Amino acid sequence: MKRKILVFLVLACVLMTASTAMAKTVSITFRDLFSGPDSDLMDEMVAKFNELHPHIHVERQLTTWDNYYDQLQLAIGSGQAPDLAVVHTRWLPAFAARNALVPLDEYVQKAGLSSEAFIEAAWNGGFYKDVQYGIPLDIIVSVVLFYNEDLMAQAGIENPPTNMEEFISYAQQIQEKTDAWGVILPGGYAAYRNFFSTLYQAGASVVNEEGTAANFNNDAGRAALQFWVDLYHKYQVAPLDVTQPLEAFRLGRGGFYVDGVFNSPGLDAQEDLNYGVTTIPAFFNNNRSFFANSHNFVIPRQRRLDPEKVEAAMEFVNWMVRNTHNWSAVPSLIEVTETEEVLNSARGQVLEQLPDLVYPPALIDIGRVETAIQEAMEAALQGDIDVATALERAEAEVNSILGR
């Protein structure tokens, strides 16, 4: 009888340890906005992490880039937030200020992550009002110059342009000597990023330092917007009617293309296209500023926060930031930027230019502010209104948003 009880007890113990071991597999949901080749890369990285960490299972929630932030708001607002999410630096204050994110200071320390290991500009983007809410994965290089080498050769141009005069005259030469357009420009938010970059090159900014008023309705701002308008209407080196600008450049129908470096995989697919990538010219004042942004890992606020999941999420984040060698953007961790894989890629070039990065201002109503500017800019680019009117209109709207 006693033996039986003993056997039973032993069995029970074995069963219990087995079940606790199984229960220790922490499952976390992870929501990001990557699409296309980036999404495939992210899938690989997540799969690899899951393989190396049997006690954690990260499940990617597929979403779309289009209305990612609407959907993230809806998820947090309805108490169905993912355990971990990706938020751009420019959107982080909007979520943080509304208490939708969990402060990370304590967890960051525990995980052994420290500011010195990261590129400073990227790291700082994770903070709102001196509290850390995000850990940067990368630095997205959203504005670079793609150039078609064959078209440049046909037009007798050796090196890509480095300033405005060169840019315009090269574009004109390409258009004269080939049957392609000089420049192809993207629309939508990409056009805003391009305009943003020249805004800072020319010496203006989106808002003043205190973040209380618009700071683009001035000579510098007008010059910046006028430049893009002129490419369409004065020099006529860019077509207005392209709904698929990347496609057009890929098919060799334009000499230059200004957009994010993440478009490279799409261009690589075209075998007969010889193209190069470089940083955008210093269009104004010999200033090479350009729009930058980071993907940050954040922990959305839950109805009930599970510390186990937070810990698992932090372990995942910690691993991810160290394994971005083949990621499409510049790694945020200094150590990774010094590896061969990064230095030998298009991302390596950008590293020299880190001081020129300009992150969007930390505004809690960034969505409204950017929409206001982008739409005024679109109207000007289409030739519907002149540059001065556009900026005046945008300034009035931005000031009223900031004044609320």
Please pick, from the candidates 17, 109, 285, 382, the single residue that binds other proteins as defined by CB under 8 A.
382
Note whether 65 binds other proteins by CB under 8 A: yes
CA distances from 297 to 32, 292, 320 (A): 9, 17, 10
CA neighbours closer than 13 Å in the CB half-sphere of residue 333:
17
User: Is the CB of 94 or the CB of 310 nearer to other proteins?
Assistant: 94
With beta carbons less than 8 A apart as the criterion, state whether 184 and 253 touch.
yes
Note whether 113 binds other proteins by CB under 8 A: no
Please pick, from the candidates 57, 379, 392, 399, the single residue that binds other proteins as defined by CB under 8 A.
379
Note whether 361 binds other proteins by CB under 8 A: no
3-state secondary structure of 48: helix
| Residue environment code for 297-307, b if the CB has 16+ CB neighbours within 10 A, otherwise e | bbbbbbeeeee
Note whether 35 binds other proteins by CB under 8 A: yes
With beta carbons less than 8 A apart as the criterion, state whether 102 and 371 touch.
no
User: At closest approach, how far in Å is the CB of 12 from other proteins?
Assistant: 37
3-state secondary structure of 300: strand
Determine if residue 236 is left, alpha or beta; phi over 0 gives left, psi from -120 to 50 gives alpha, anything else beta: left
Which value, in Å, is the radius of gyration of the alpha carbons in the chain? 24
User: At closest approach, how far in Å is the CB of 372 from other proteins?
Assistant: 8
Note whether 42 binds other proteins by CB under 8 A: no
User: Is the CB of 73 or the CB of 154 nearer to other proteins?
Assistant: 73
Please pick, from the candidates 122, 376, 387, 402, the single residue that binds other proteins as defined by CB under 8 A.
376
Count of residues that interact with other proteins, criterion CB under 8 A: 48
Note whether 27 binds other proteins by CB under 8 A: no
Note whether 241 binds other proteins by CB under 8 A: yes
Q: For 125, which DSSP code?
A: T
CA distances from 351 to 135, 139, 163, 329 (A): 19, 10, 20, 11
Stretch of residues binding other proteins (CB under 8 A), selected from 65-73, 176-184, 218-226, 318-326: 65-73
Max Cα-Cα span within the chain: 100
Torsion of CA 112, 118, 124, 125, to 10 degrees: -100
Note whether 43 binds other proteins by CB under 8 A: no
Note whether 44 binds other proteins by CB under 8 A: no
User: Is the CB of 150 or the CB of 365 nearer to other proteins?
Assistant: 365
Within 8 A by CB and 6+ apart from 285, the residues are 201, 202, 203
Judging by DSSP bridges, how do beta strands 134-136 and 295-298 pair with one another?
antiparallel
Note whether 243 binds other proteins by CB under 8 A: yes
User: At closest approach, how far in Å is the CB of 241 from other proteins?
Assistant: 4
Please pick, from the candidates 41, 53, 61, 270, the single residue that binds other proteins as defined by CB under 8 A.
61
Note whether 99 binds other proteins by CB under 8 A: yes
Note whether 73 binds other proteins by CB under 8 A: yes
DSSP characters for 12-39? HHHHHHHHHHHHT-EEEEEE----HHHH
User: At closest approach, how far in Å is the CB of 352 from other proteins?
Assistant: 30
Show contacts with other proteins in window 184-223 (CB under 8 A): 187-188
With beta carbons less than 8 A apart as the criterion, state whether 130 and 105 touch.
no
Stretch of residues binding other proteins (CB under 8 A), selected from 114-122, 275-283, 306-314, 363-371: 363-371
User: At closest approach, how far in Å is the CB of 186 from other proteins?
Assistant: 9
Which residues are at the interface with other proteins (CB under 8 A)? 35-36, 61-67, 69-71, 73-80, 94, 98-100, 187-188, 240-244, 246-247, 266, 301, 365, 367-368, 371, 375-376, 378-379, 382, 384, 396-397, 400
